[in-house]
Amino acid sequence: MLKVIRGGTVVTATDTTKADVLIDGETIAAVGAFDNVDAEVIDASGCFVLPGLIDNHTHMSMPFGGTTSADNYDTGTQAAAAGGVTAIVDFGLQMEPNGLQSSLDQWMGRAEGAAHVDYGFHMAITTADTQTFKDMQAMVDQGVSSFKVFLAYKGALMVTDDLFMQALERSNEVGGIVQVHAENGWVIDHLVTQALGKGQTTPIYHALTRPESVEAEATGRAIRIAEMVDAPVYIVHVSCEAAAQEIINARARGVHAYGETCIQYLFLDIEDLNRPAPEGARYVCSPPLRDASNQDFMWDALNFGHLQSISTDHCPFNDEQKGLGKDDFSKIPNGLSAVQHRLALMWEHGVKTGRMSPSKLVDVTSTAIAKQFGMHPKKGTIAAGADADLVIFDPNREHVFSTATAFSNVGYDLFDGRKTSGSARQTLSRGTVVFDNGKILTKPGHGRFIKRGSFNPATHGDATA
């Protein structure tokens, strides 16, 4: 069955052109002018047609902080599709020593039959043993070609520098890339103990006990360790200028260091943690929200290619879950609900203000991620042969952020009351309309596992626009 998306402006990471997109089944057949073709027509006049966004950083149904993140693969990928996202790469966590396979099987089992858009996995490594390092090869063979280590969350997910170094060495052998949560867990633990000892228990102390230098130090250390073993390294959720500067310095030395930021670091700030209860706790994430003075730098870092992509670190917890820390900020589950909001916010404050070109937006939200994480050219572009993962963005379809318009299962919207003048009108996943004008049309299970390719230094996601 043919479909044609007619009359829109097609945006890729390199070009913006008036063109139709012809879809044959799950795949883009051609991009051009198709006036007389016998096909179902989707009218995109007045709209932009973009490659579906890829969210490289989500945590659906994840056991964390004494509870489990509030979105499963059904609700979380509905929220994703409503925001123009057609693929997520979610984090599996190693749940027990002696290998990674049983943990991957758990994550696969949760996602299968539930997701509305396609999904892949990164695998977080939490223990160093022979079977775990052996399984890194099996992960890459199964399309899970990226790993994560946490230098924070002492006593839970945190690993030591020697384990991290071994993971880098092994990752190099198996064709993977290691991602790092870069905050110094030892220092944070000490600062948290001091704060609680002084009776400082409210959400703002979450941020004050994880200052920028705690992130910058761990970022610099992670990169130096990667440099010693000549391994590529990818720093997730970079929140501030000081940490980004470590990546910039490393890249200037020729190190294969990459960085991702997330929308909360551009659109929210440390003052949100001072909101009256229960709201302040909703904004607790790690690294924490920063002073707003960082935001101009972070925009520039993305725009000039110092940071390669922007995702969301979607890890929602409802008010009851956040309430676990009502008398002690260190017990508030860390994470925010954001997967639906990237496109509308980035367009409004990036493209519409002239800060970022439409192509650059496509690059940092989709193309660069697809290249870096072994999904390109099936994902992340609009070209013959690519999956028909597309979003029709209407610059005049106003979006009012509210619980009523949010698909996340979290029960509130962090951006409640804000408006953008444009938003996603339709989202297509492999040729099927998943989201149409406020409604999800697919059944859980439309989304499929993405078997990703290994890390390729030649197409490593550096800026294309």
Q: Phi and psi (nearest 5°) for 297?
A: -65, -40
Partnered with residue 93 across adjacent β-strands are 124
Token reading at 330: 């260190």
Q: Which stretch binds Zn ion (CB under 5 A): 190-198, 257-265, 309-317, 348-356?
A: 309-317
Residue type, 20: D
Vertex 89, ends 84 and 93: CA angle to 5°?
A: 145
Q: Where are the beta strands (DSSP E) in 194-256?
A: 233-235
Cβ 293 to Zn ion, closest distance in Å?
Answer: 23
Interface residue with ligand URP, options 335, 358, 380, 461 (CB under 6 A): 335
When the beta carbons of 305 and 411 are compared against ligand URP, the nearer one is 411
Confirm if 83 and 348 have CB atoms less than 8 A apart: no
Between residue 294 and residue 313, which ones bind ligand URP under the rule CB under 6 A? 313
374 binds, among ligand URP, Zn ion, none (CB under 5 to 8 A by kind): none
When the beta carbons of 20 and 260 are compared against ligand URP, the nearer one is 260
When the beta carbons of 405 and 409 are compared against ligand URP, the nearer one is 409
335 binds, among ligand URP, Zn ion, none (CB under 5 to 8 A by kind): ligand URP
Q: Residue 194 class from Cβ within 10 Å (0-12 exposed, 13-18 middle, 19+ buried)?
A: exposed
Confirm if 220 and 160 have CB atoms less than 8 A apart: no
285 binds, among Zn ion, ligand URP, none (CB under 5 to 8 A by kind): ligand URP
How many residues form the binding site for ligand URP (CB under 6 A)? 9
Q: How far is residue 85's CA from residue 87's CA, in Å, rounded to a whole number?
A: 6
When the beta carbons of 12 and 209 are compared against ligand URP, the nearer one is 209
When the beta carbons of 3 and 210 are compared against ligand URP, the nearer one is 210
Cβ 220 to Zn ion, closest distance in Å?
Answer: 17
Token reading at 282: 């909703």
Sequence-distant (≥ 6) Cβ neighbours of residue 160 within 8 angstroms: none
Cβ 186 to ligand URP, closest distance in Å?
Answer: 16
334 binds, among Zn ion, ligand URP, none (CB under 5 to 8 A by kind): ligand URP
Cβ 96 to ligand URP, closest distance in Å?
Answer: 19
**Does residue 315 belong to the site contacting ligand URP (CB under 6 A)?**
yes
Q: Phi and psi (nearest 5°) for 339?
A: -60, -25
Sequence-distant (≥ 6) Cβ neighbours of residue 387 within 8 angstroms: 26, 27, 28, 86, 118, 378, 379, 430
Interface residue with ligand URP, options 103, 334, 359, 366 (CB under 6 A): 334
When the beta carbons of 114 and 332 are compared against ligand URP, the nearer one is 332
How many residues form the binding site for Zn ion (CB under 5 A)? 2
Percent helix, percent strand, percent coil in the chain, to nearest 5: 35, 25, 45
Three-state secondary structure call for residue 314 = strand
Q: How far is residue 423's CA from residue 414's CA, in Å, rounded to a whole number?
A: 17
Q: Residue 400 class from Cβ within 10 Å (0-12 exposed, 13-18 middle, 19+ buried)?
A: middle
Interface residue with ligand URP, options 116, 181, 210, 452 (CB under 6 A): 181
Between residue 232 and residue 261, which ones bind ligand URP under the rule CB under 6 A? 237
**Does residue 181 belong to the site contacting Zn ion (CB under 5 A)?**
yes
Interface residue with Zn ion, options 269, 313, 363, 387 (CB under 5 A): 313
Interface residue with ligand URP, options 61, 286, 294, 464 (CB under 6 A): 286
Of 388, 386, 399, the C-alpha closest to 425 is 399
When the beta carbons of 294 and 334 are compared against ligand URP, the nearer one is 334
Q: Which stretch binds Zn ion (CB under 5 A): 306-314, 375-383, 400-408, 412-420?
A: 306-314
Between residue 9 and residue 68, which ones bind ligand URP under the rule CB under 6 A? 59
Cβ 453 to ligand URP, closest distance in Å?
Answer: 24
Cβ 86 to ligand URP, closest distance in Å?
Answer: 22
When the beta carbons of 220 and 422 are compared against Zn ion, the nearer one is 220
Query: Would you put residue 82 in left (φ > 0), alpha (ψ -120 to 50) or beta?
Result: alpha
When the beta carbons of 90 and 313 are compared against ligand URP, the nearer one is 313
Q: How far is residue 95's CA from residue 100's CA, in Å, rounded to a whole number?
A: 8
When the beta carbons of 90 and 387 are compared against ligand URP, the nearer one is 90
Question: Can you give the length of the chain in residues?
Answer: 465
Of 371, 361, 432, the C-alpha closest to 395 is 361
When the beta carbons of 233 and 356 are compared against ligand URP, the nearer one is 233
170 binds, among Zn ion, ligand URP, none (CB under 5 to 8 A by kind): none
Instruction: Name the closest residue to ligand URP (Cβ).
Output: 334
Q: How far are the Cα atoms of 193, 209, 328, 409 from residue 197, in angstroms, in the given order?
A: 6, 13, 11, 35
452 binds, among ligand URP, Zn ion, none (CB under 5 to 8 A by kind): none
For binding to Zn ion (CB under 5 A), which residues are involved? 181, 313
For binding to ligand URP (CB under 6 A), which residues are involved? 59, 181, 237, 285-286, 313, 315, 334-335
